[in-house]
Amino acid sequence: MAVYFQEDKKIFHLDTKNTTYLIGMTPEGYIGHIYYGRRLYQEADSYLLRTAEAPFTPSVNKREKLSFLDSFPMEYPTGGIGDYRESCLNVRNPKGQMGSELLYLSHEIYPGKKKLEGLPASFGAEEEVETLEITLEDKILGLQAVLSWSVFEKEDMIARSVRIVNQGKDALKLEKVYSACLDMDNEDYEMINLCGSWARERHIQRAPLRYGKQAVSSFRGESSHQEHPFMALVSPGTDQQQGQVYAMHFVYSGNFLAQAELTQYDSVRMVMGIHTEEFCWNLLPGESFQAPEVILTYSGQGLGMMSRNFHDFYRDHMIRSIYNHKKRPILINNWEATYFDFDTEKLLQIAREAKKCGIEMLVMDDGWFGRRNVDDNSLGDWTVNEEKIKGGLKYLVDQVNEIGLAFGIWFEPEMVSPDSDLYRAHPDWAIQIEGREAAMGRNQYVLDLSRRDVVDYVYEAVAKILRSANICYVKWDMNRLLSDLGSSFLDAEHQKELSHRYVLGLYELQERLVTEFPELLLENCSSGGARFDPGMLYYSPQIWCSDDTDAIERLLIQEGTGFIYPLSTMGAHVSDCPNHILGRVTPFETRGHIALAGTFGYELDITKIPQEQRQMICEQTKMYHAYNDLVREGDYYRIASYRENHKYDVWAVASKDKQEVLVTYVQVLAEPNKHSRKLRLQGFDPDASYRLTGTEQVYSGEMLMYAGFLIECMKGDFVSRLYHFEKIQAEDKCL
């Protein structure tokens, strides 16, 4: 039983395999946080709520209610009543006054987990997850907040969300609705987040927690290149294998805030939810507002365990695609090969050469529709340009299929070019402020997905193309941010709902797409990795990791992404050199090894590269088939970080049964006069023996993990090597 209620002490127990989460209640009905950490096996006591010491609860000492509210460890704090830390819920009444106070009304414990209306969310069978719902009530406002904790016992995960219900007679304004809060005492925590920019997404950043508020956020209309909807607090000295980790991850693809606040009493409040910038939701009587989900995990065994918790959870309880546990086709995308300069024959030339090398899919990128020969026109006009695609799209797809490759296609459905038939017919469909010239990004505007007519148009435009030919894959792109937030559809009272309604419209589009085309391999993208978040994984099993395909820069990007996401979700390709963004030249072999830690594919003109590299593609596609099951399904271990040592990068993937382990070593910077490098590996069975593939060398698991493995010196910068170990069975040892 993962969830139970200790009636005598008014304590809720949430237990996973390795963790316990305790929620308590004061006599008045305030819901407080008692404990989150390693698994407890005895019945709990509520003394950690400190209700027996000053400033006491209001029923004991009403004259110091402000002091109580400003120090009590709330599970879901509200604003305007005297808790001066960050609130999770701000409600304004019809008189324009802001304040709410939520007290316990009822609770329910049930097996399974309910869907969140209109939102992506984790899922699980009744035997895999158990849910606690606590309903809180503000009787003065006629408002209820239904707090939900869904406990995934096997993965050590808790999914939190909140639904706000207006049970009163008056309309209310929700000016802030965060999804989760975690109040706890400070233990000299450090904060870890992921930051970056276009072409350098999700770099790991770590710093001591200071007094005051430290936040990461986006109000760009998407989760963004610059920040990521993730935050972790760690105890001092925490590394991959030891230390305490408290992590939150937001299942949402729009504006967000993740914040840690160190208070005057040396307590820490972590909150996460929809950013309040340009947000206000009008809640009419009888209506409800569902906030997105936050995923929590605790690891008492360092950052590596946190990563593996997230990986297992997202593979089993977030990604729905039929490709989730299947090998993805090796694709070649024509963008960096041709940009806009291609036609049917050029694509067929690429397809013929790709087939010879073991590549399995051709993806036609931007430039196939309207008058799209440059990026300043035609977005929104999703009709095939038959001057370029001679014979039409079905002819091209049939020819590619006859060669022996599957076919994929690129869309940017959320955008419209000012120079397009769609914009000339419906200028009001673009997000813009009336009377003000809207700013453009990449020569385009954003369509208003809060409008039903726009959502229906966009869906039919995409679906019509997919129905017309045997298209197996879609790359769904978004190449600019939201700005000039104005909707011609929403009235003045509802304009601040636009950003959230936009995301809901996006989710509806992709839900309709995967419902009509359940066998479609959907890959999301936003100028690379600007919308790489758990919300998008609900619809697509993979997301384009970054527009930067330089192998060495990808070490940092893929380390940060793999920190919380399964390797199978990271769109990673081998591209040409000099790299189109950085100009760096790296060995073709190294590019293949680094792309192997992702979905694997190619981003180059295979008809122009040297024959030697074409032969290497043949070898790399065989490598992919040999190791992808392990990379896709295995446990990920970070051995060493180029980000930290500035010289080399090492990671490993071990099968769940520890039968095999694949270690990838990348030497970024060669050093003179050095011996071989000794590394303590991870992921092995310490009681077993392993043979290094391609040799007769045998090692014990305990020696590899505790004594180390010698990596011989290699000449040159940017060189790499794979080490594949297979467990020796008992009968093999006797030979």
Catalytic residues: 477, 547
For residue 270, how far is the Cα from the chain centroid?
A: 19
Q: Helix, strand, or coil here: 33?
A: strand
Write a three-state SS string for 632-695: HHCEEEEEECHHHHCCEEEEEEECCCCCEEEEEEEECCCCCCCCCEEECCCCCCCCCEEEECCC
Please, how many CA atoms are within 13 Å of residue 433, restricted to the half-sphere of its CB? 10
611-633 and 588-595 helices cross at what angle (nearest 10)? 20
DSSP-derived secondary structure for 132-165: EEEEEEETTTTEEEEEEEEEETTTTEEEEEEEEE
How far, CA to CA in Å, does 308 sit from each of 302, 629, 652? 11, 16, 12
The letter for the amino acid at 173 is: K
> Which residues on adjacent β-strands are paired with residue 259?
271
Asked if residue 573 lies in contact with residue 268, where contact means CB atoms within 8 angstroms, the answer is: no
Cα–Cα nearest to 157, from 35, 288, 314: 314
Q: Which DSSP state fits 272?
A: E
- Alpha-carbon Rg of the chain, whole angstroms? 27
- Inter-residue contact 585 to 593 (CB < 8 Å): no
Check: CB of residue 638 under 8 Å from CB of residue 241. no
Using an 8 Å Cβ cutoff, are 595 and 603 in contact?
Answer: no
- Map tokens 């989460």 to a residue: 21
Which residues does 598 contact at the CB level (< 8 Å), separation at least 6? Answer: 545, 558, 567, 568, 570, 571, 572
How far is the C-alpha of 122 from the C-alpha of 115, rounded, in Å?
8
Q: Could you write out the DSSP letters of every residue in 351-381? A: HHHHHHTT--EEEE-S-SBTT-SSTTS-TT-
- The answer to whether the beta carbons of residues 236 and 190 sit under 8 Å apart is yes
- Helices 551-562 and 588-595: crossing angle in degrees, nearest 10, is 10
Give the Cα separation of 156 and 297 in Å (integer).
6
CA distance 274 to 599: 30
Closest CA to 351 of 432, 307, 308, 408: 408
Q: Structure tokens of 528?
A: 């690379």
CB 203 within 8 A of CB 643: yes
Nearest alpha-carbon partner for 452 in 501, 397, 500: 501
Q: Classify residue 471 as left (phi > 0), alpha (psi -120 to 50) or beta.
A: beta
CB within 8 A of 719, min separation 6: which ones? 587, 589, 590, 666, 667, 670
Residue 503 neighbours by CB under 8 Å, 6+ apart: 252, 253, 254, 535
